[in-house]
Amino acid sequence: MGRVDGKVALITGGASGLGEASARLLVSEGARVVLTDINTDLGAEVAADIGGDAIFVGHDVSSEDQWITAIEAATDRFGRLDVVVNSAGIADMNNVEETTLDAWRRMMAINLDGVFLGCKYGVKAIKQHGDGGSIINLSSVSGIIGGHNLAAYNASKGGVRLLTKSVALHCARQGYNIRCNSVHPTFIDTPMLHKMIGGSSDPDKTLAKLQRQVPMGRLGRPDDVGYMVVYLASEESAYVTGSELIVDGGIVAQ
């Protein structure tokens, strides 16, 4: 307990999945959190369930103005910002020929533009108090290895991977003591995964196939990623920046 005592974290995509799991674990370890999400009803429910150390702000991560508002809400309520977790994202299973330009642009707006804005305004807010902090970007194993039917998703998550390294090097060069790292999960048992496979002819068969691809033989749990977020938010990772931390049951090792 207490691994992130006193820290204030803003977590996008906090209404469900990895964002929700990360928020709950961070609060359990002493942080105060601002959950943001485009799903305002569910986000408000999650924040209320977590309790007094959590608030919710409606937030479209592709909007620069809404990023400014969300960060102001965090600093107005808690007086500072120490951690940004860029967890919001979407997925689409299409190859390069099937992907429309509109679908491509939407993927980039949420998965990559949203992370860019979170880094840009997160650095600005965190450096104000001078104590340093941590920016944690949720990428994917699909940001490291390709898939024939993930053209836009691969591109967006690969972009997050290298943006993270650029932000880390910039902050180190400026002496901000702000670390920036990317987390690369594989198939995690979240609503987004089930939505992705829901369009297949046999979702149960598709789910079983995904599990067989994982050397450890199971889907990941949201907390498997959430504990990595806690580590990166804490001072235990004080010398870790610009890194890609893989949470994939062994897939990339194959």
Point out the residues that are catalytic. 153
Q: Which residue has the tokens 């642009």?
A: 105
Q: Is the dihedral of CA 207, 208, 209, 214 positive or negative?
A: positive
Count how many Cα atoms sit within 13 Å of the Cα of residue 215 in the half-sphere of its side chain: 8
Tell me which residue of 221, 180, 225 sits closest to 22, measured CA to CA.
225
Q: Which residue's entry shows tokens 């479209």? A: 60
